[in-house]
Amino acid sequence: MLWSPSERVKQNRAAHRVSAHASEPAPAPLEGAVIPRRFWLYKSEPMIDSSVNPSFGGIPLTGAAGKRMFTSGGIRQMVFSNRFRVVAFAALAALLAVSSCGGGDKKSARKTEPAGETGRPTPGGVVYRHLESDCKTLNWVLYTTTYENYVLRYLYDRLLDYDRNMDIVPVLAKNYEVSKDHLRIAVTLRDSLRWHDGAPITAEDVKFTVDKILDPAVPAVNKEGWFSRLDRVDVTGPLTLDFVWKEPYAPSVHALTQLAPIPKHIYGDGDFNENPANRSPVGSGPFKFEEWRTGQMISLVRNDDYHGRKAYLDRVIFKIIPDGSVALNALKTGELDEMRITQIQWETQTNDPEFLARFDKKYYNVPQYNYLAWNCRSVWFEDRRVRRAMTMLFDRETINKELYSGFAEIVTGPFYKRSWAYDPAVEPIPFDPAGAMTLLDEAGWTDADNDGVREKDGAKFEFDFFIVSGSETGRRLSELFQEQCRKAGVIVNIRQFEGATFFDKMFKGEYDCTASAWRLENDPDVYDTFHSSQVPPIGLNHTFYSNLEVDTLLERGRIEFDHGARKAMYHRIHRLIHEDQPYTFINSVPEKRPFSRRIGNIVISPNGPFDFYPGAAYWYVKEDTSQASK
């Protein structure tokens, strides 16, 4: 049955999924295109231009990138998440050797010492960190946002992780071995690992965690995609287990960097999704959960029984302050030790001598991009001509100049701009209001009654644009776009939500248009973001995008170990998604963050200061606090 636009308005929320190409022919493959698949991360470039940011000291950092964590971004200027996966840098031979060569090579745990500045760290003290939004959960399987990841990084260790140089290192694992046929990864856990409540960590906990990730009743949208090719987990001993894959899977070792086990004895009974431990977690990391006051703060305390070197800090306290101006004032008065700031705050509100004496301003790239998401099952955005028209009404050059002072880079596709998966030959769609109106006319959206608003089959072109409350960047960006749409005969209603509500609606697909950002991971696989099987509540394809050729390429890319073939696939995926415009890809923005000078051992990796091992776990409060926060 075909619905008219007016009928579809009524049915919009009830429909599970409508093809993004319901009335369009599938795009023809590019002539001579290779349809194989991908592998690894960045081009080798310096992370920071020290001439732009002398205070950074010109630290040469190189590294990796490729996927997904949500942030309220762009739009908060931003980061996901994990999402996040957001940067640039050297294609890592070490990862290629582990993930694509396998060959029975056994990787053992190496001692990962905290590295950074010299001096003697002193145990004790508290660091106050900023959260721009409250968390929805502290269940590692269920988390979806960068803000949750900030907290969970202290509470849970992963089997494997990336270090500051983007090399994969064992953490909870003692060693791991990849079979020559790439179908099995044997993992041995470290001896005497303990949960925060003192119970032993075993291979059964790891298997339980994977089982929950793959449980259809559990919305593990940020994890399920990495394990969808997993056949089973065989527990071979109290501390040993095998990950057995259905077929050779290129990101298989990377998948284990996304696996932080949770305790079976805590989560094994009752409703997993509503377990009380989702708000009072029992983890394995260097800090333990202490307290969570909704909308106010989350407090963590040092784990003195940690399996690795004990942390120096007594506590880490996250203060939840959605409003950027309020947060900056808290930073200046000593209530916070760090926060991400906007371009305007960087340029005009944080340069006085007193501030610079107390704070070290860091400016660095991370693998991320900002975007507008179009709900492809919506009556307004099911036609890709309309989505393309929206992009043509979005003035990215002006936004870059006015909101980011020219420091943002326009992006055209779903990969990190400095990744080998990103196709630099794809040109941005230009700002072209006249061209946009022509496309809207072609799609049947015309102003037949001359009231200044386009309509089709009796339905006015009027939609809601969701942004996160408290984001000055999001407000200004949405208002600029609203004005251009008004001139083109389209009504945009800007609606603001606090972070947890915003993400809940977005992940359920209950929106017309949102402004958000992806924090990318170290492998460029975007299966769970753009494959048609990964729509809510299963995966992260919250636009309900569907393209058969993209699906096929994403599937083949996951089993392709040849780097050149995989690169060709991802370049083709980039071009197809660019043509379909389920997102208006906006830009990639360097992160700007002042840190209190009273804090020592701050390390900036290619993934930023937090999203690596050991991340911020070994920060300390300097003995000389003459320049400390008040």
Model pLDDT, residue 107: 61
Model pLDDT, residue 222: 86
Q: Which of 17-26, 215-224, 471-480, 577-586 has the highest mean pLDDT?
A: 577-586
Model pLDDT, residue 119: 60
> Are the CB atoms for 363 and 49 separated by under 8 Å?
no
Least confident piece of the model among 10-24, 415-429, 527-541, 614-628:
10-24
Tell me: pLDDT of 465 over 90. Answer: yes
How does residue 620 score in pLDDT terms, banded at 50, 70 and 90?
Answer: very high
Model pLDDT, residue 624: 55
In a domain, 556, yes or no: yes
Distance CA 267, CA 426 (A): 46
Model pLDDT, residue 169: 97
How does residue 609 score in pLDDT terms, banded at 50, 70 and 90?
Answer: very high
> Are the CB atoms for 392 and 360 separated by under 8 Å?
no
Tell me: pLDDT of 160 over 60. Answer: yes
> Are the CB atoms for 369 and 585 separated by under 8 Å?
yes
Higher pLDDT, 446 or 25: 446
Per-residue pLDDT tens over the stretch 67-85: 333 333 333 332 333 333 3
Model pLDDT, residue 28: 30
Look up tokens 């409003």; give the residue: 323
Report the amino acid identity of residue 132: E
The CATH number for 420's domain is 3.10.105.10
Higher pLDDT, 87 or 604: 604
In a domain, 359, yes or no: no
Model pLDDT, residue 470: 80
Give mean pLDDT, residues 243-272: 96
Distance CA 567, CA 34 (A): 10
In the numeric block, which tokens belong to residue 85?
Answer: 């996966």
Closest C-alpha to 213, from 205, 221, 202: 221
Model pLDDT, residue 108: 60
Give mean pLDDT, residues 153-168: 96
Distance CA 385, CA 554 (A): 24
Report the amino acid identity of residue 480: L
**Strand (E) positions, 446-525?**
455-456, 459-460, 462-468, 491-497, 513-519
Report the amino acid identity of residue 504: D
560 phi/psi in degrees, rounded to 5: -95, 120
Q: Which of 2-11, 61-70, 85-94, 487-496 has the highest mean pLDDT?
A: 487-496
Model pLDDT, residue 106: 59
SS3 content of the chain, % helix, strand, coil (to 5): 25, 20, 55
Residues whose CB falls within 8 Å of the CB of residue 94, separated by 6 or more in sequence, listed in order: 167, 168
Report the amino acid identity of residue 89: F
* Rg over CA atoms, the chain: 24
List 188's β-bridge partners, or say none: 175, 240
Tell me: pLDDT of 109 over 80. Answer: no
In a domain, 34, yes or no: no
> Are the CB atoms for 163 and 88 separated by under 8 Å?
no
In the numeric block, which tokens belong to residue 576?
Answer: 């197809």
Tell me: pLDDT of 472 over 50. Answer: yes
In a domain, 388, yes or no: yes
Tell me: pLDDT of 104 over 60. Answer: no
In the numeric block, which tokens belong to residue 63?
Answer: 């590294």
Higher pLDDT, 540 or 388: 388
Model pLDDT, residue 605: 94
Tell me: pLDDT of 47 over 70. Answer: no
In the numeric block, which tokens belong to residue 593?
Answer: 């963050």
In a domain, 197, yes or no: no
In a domain, 296, yes or no: no
Does residue 43 sit in helix, strand or coil? coil
Tell me: pLDDT of 349 over 80. Answer: yes
Rounded (10°) angle between helices 396-404 and 472-487: 150
Closest C-alpha to 177, from 240, 121, 265: 240
Distance CA 213, CA 329 (A): 40
Model pLDDT, residue 573: 98
Distance CA 373, CA 382 (A): 12
Please count the residues of the chain: 630
Residues whose CB falls within 8 Å of the CB of residue 112, separated by 6 or more in sequence, listed in order: 163, 169, 171, 308, 613, 614
Higher pLDDT, 519 or 545: 545
How does residue 1 score in pLDDT terms, banded at 50, 70 and 90?
Answer: very low
Give me the number of domains the chain comprises.
1
DSSP letters of 361-376? EEEE--SEEEEEEE-T
Model pLDDT, residue 532: 97
Per-residue pLDDT tens over the stretch 285-296: 999 999 999 999
Model pLDDT, residue 3: 35
Tell me: pLDDT of 7 over 90. Answer: no
In a domain, 595, yes or no: no
Tell me: pLDDT of 52 over 70. Answer: no
Tell me: pLDDT of 29 over 70. Answer: no
Determine the Cα angle at 169 with ends 164 and 173, to 5°.
140
Residues whose CB falls within 8 Å of the CB of residue 457, separated by 6 or more in sequence, listed in order: 4, 5, 6, 444
Tell me: pLDDT of 385 over 90. Answer: yes
Task: Give the H/E segment covering residue 359.
Answer: strand 359-364
CA 307: distance to chain centroid?
28
Tell me: pLDDT of 198 over 90. Answer: yes
Peptide bond into 251 cis (omega under 30): no
How does residue 521 score in pLDDT terms, banded at 50, 70 and 90?
Answer: confident
Computed over every residue of the chain, the mean pLDDT equals 83
How does residue 268 score in pLDDT terms, banded at 50, 70 and 90?
Answer: very high
List 81's β-bridge partners, or say none: none
Tell me: pLDDT of 195 over 70. Answer: yes
CA 349: distance to chain centroid?
28
Give mean pLDDT, residues 182-194: 97
How does residue 298 score in pLDDT terms, banded at 50, 70 and 90?
Answer: very high
Q: Which domain holds residue 436?
A: 367-588
Least confident piece of the model among 97-101, 460-464, 565-569:
97-101
Q: What pTM value is reported for the model?
A: 0.73
Determine how many CB atoms are found less than 10 A away from the CB of residue 417: 24
Model pLDDT, residue 225: 87
Our CA dihedral for 334, 336, 338, 341, rounded to 10 degrees, sits at -90
In a domain, 544, yes or no: yes
Higher pLDDT, 119 or 43: 119
Give mean pLDDT, residues 186-190: 98
199-223 burial string, b = 16+ CB within 10 Å, else e?
ebbbbbbbbbbbebbbeeebbbbbb
Q: Is 346 exposed, middle or buried (0-12, 13-18, 19+ CB in 10 A)?
A: buried
255 phi/psi in degrees, rounded to 5: -55, -35
Region at 561 (left for phi over 0; alpha for psi -120 to 50; beta for the rest): alpha
Higher pLDDT, 410 or 60: 410
Distance CA 569, CA 60 (A): 31
Per-residue pLDDT tens over the stretch 113-126: 444 454 689 899 99
In the numeric block, which tokens belong to residue 543?
Answer: 């636009």
